[in-house]
Amino acid sequence: MDTLDAARKAKAKANKEFRKKSKAKLDKALKSLKKNLAAAKAGADAAHAAQEALRLKRELDQKLDHEKQMSERVSEFKSKYPNVWALGKTGLLWAQASLDAKNGLNEDFVKDAILKNLAADCVISKKRFGRNFRNSDHHDAGYFRHKLFCIVSETYADTFMDEMQSKVPINHASPNIPLDVVFSPIVTGSKSYIEWARKHTSRVQITANNLFNKH
C-alpha cells in the first residue's frame, strides 16, 4: 500500500507540474500572439492611413486641376463673349407708371431722379393710350396717359415711389382704376449695363458740384 500511495502521489505531482508548465507555455504563446496581432494591426492601420492620404492628395490635385481648367475656360469665354447675360438677383427693378397726359408731364422729376441716383435710366413714352373701363355701376369714358419706365434700385424703390407720387401727375381717371405703378424685378441683362445701373442707383455718390444728394 505504501508503495502504491507513493506512486500515486508522484504521478499527481508530475501531472500538476505538467499542467503548470503547459499553462505557462500557453500564456507565453498567447502573449506573443497578442503582441504580433497588435503589430500587424498597427502596420495595417499605417498602410491604410498612407493609402487614404494618397487618395486625398490625388483628390485635391484633381480638384485643383479641374478648378484651373474651369478658370481658364471661363476666362477664355469671357474674352470671346464679353456681352454675356447676368443671371440671378440683380438688385434692380423695372418701374413703370401711367402718367396723366391731360395734366401735363413733369419731366423735371426724371432729371431729378437721375441726379439723385434714384433712377439709372428712364424712358418716357408720349404716345397716347386710351381705354374704356365699364361695369354695371360705373360708365366712364376713356382716359389718355403717357408711360414712364425707369430702372431703379430695389433698396430705394419706396423712396422712388414717394418722389414720383409727390411730383408726377399719376392717372386717376376713375375711382375704379387703381394707382398704376408697377415694379418688376430685373433678373437678367447685359452684365456691363447691370453694373452701370447698380452704380448709378447706389445713392452714395456726391460730386464736387453737389449734383447728387444723399438722404
Q: Kindly report the CATH number assigned to the domain that includes residue 171.
A: 3.30.70.120
Note whether 194 and 102 are same-domain residues.
yes
Answer yes or no: is 66 within a domain. Answer: yes
Contact between residue 93 and residue 183 where contact means Cβ atoms under 8 Å apart: yes
> Which residues are paired to 183 by β-bridges?
95
Answer yes or no: is 207 within a domain. Answer: no
Count of domains for the chain? 2
What is the C-alpha to C-alpha distance for residues 20 and 12, in angstroms, rounded to an integer? Answer: 12
What is the C-alpha to C-alpha distance for residues 20 and 14, in angstroms, rounded to an integer? Answer: 10
> pLDDT tens-digit profile of 126-183?
766 555 544 444 444 455 667 888 999 988 888 888 888 887 777 655 555 566 788 9
Contact between residue 185 and residue 154 where contact means Cβ atoms under 8 Å apart: yes
- Domain region containing 55: 1-82
Number of C-beta neighbours around residue 76 at 10 A: 10
> Which residues are paired to 92 by β-bridges?
153
> pLDDT tens-digit profile of 194-213?
889 988 888 644 343 433 44
Note whether 129 and 188 are same-domain residues.
yes
Contact between residue 171 and residue 100 where contact means Cβ atoms under 8 Å apart: yes
Note whether 101 and 184 are same-domain residues.
yes
Number of C-beta neighbours around residue 165 at 10 A: 13
Cell digits for 169?
401727375
Q: What is the pTM of this model?
A: 0.49
Note whether 42 and 136 are same-domain residues.
no
Last residue of a domain, one of 45, 65, 82: 82
